[in-house]
Amino acid sequence: MIIKSVNGKAPQIPEDCFVAENATIVGEVSFGANCSIWYNAVIRGDVNQITIGNKVNIQDGAIIHCTYQKHATKIGNNVSIGHNAIVHGCTIEDNVLIGMGAIVMDNCVVKSNSIVAAGAVVTQNTVIESGTIYAGVPAKKVKEINESNFAGEIDRIATNYVMYSSWFKEEK
């Protein structure tokens, strides 16, 4: 793994977090408890701050970045960032699922209890309503979570990733 200070600012990673051997975390990045950063994930807090809450999983190949002198990145609690997703200079509130390959651009806010579908592109300055699913390019509201088959999936996935990471911690 690459964990590196930039401009005197070092990542803050609690002991109970799992970081895969080839993940990269640089600069002003802080994590809450029970997070997992998976294979080939890149979290670059070199040009601005990245704050990540508790029970967050950043899956394989995902990229978390921010915007120089403009937008920090804030990720709340109980969030899953899917494989190869890009989260850039935005705010992700609590209990959110960012699907595989989704892109969330600068100055977006993804409100709590919502889902950004796999492959969606959330364009700059978009606010995603709480309790909704957004999909497509550009991402648009497609339905309310409670009207879908995805009710309960946000917590299930986040909880499963805490379990998965425990398997890897045991192998050290």
Count CB-CB contacts under 10 A for residue 100. 16
Question: What does pTM read for this prediction?
Answer: 0.94
Cβ atoms of 92 and 115 within 8 Å: the answer is: no
Can you read off the two tokens belonging to residue 17? 């977090």
Which of 40-49, 130-139, 141-150 is the least confident region? 141-150
Interstrand relation of 57-58 and 109-110 (parallel, antiparallel or unpaired): unpaired
> What CATH number is given to the structural domain containing 130?
2.160.10.10
The per-residue pLDDT for range 63-107, each reduced to its tens digit, is: 999 999 999 999 999 999 999 999 999 999 999 999 999 999 999
Closest CA to 67 of 88, 81, 53: 88
Q: Say how many domains are in the chain.
A: 1
* The pLDDT of residue 170 is above 70: no
Burial class (CB in 10 A: 0-12, 13-18, 19+), 125: exposed
Q: Which residue range(s) make up the domain with 146? A: 2-170
* The pLDDT of residue 146 is above 90: no
The per-residue pLDDT for range 4-16, each reduced to its tens digit, is: 999 999 999 999 9
Q: Is 145 helix (H, G, I), strand (E, B) or coil?
A: helix
Mean pLDDT of the 155-165 span: 93
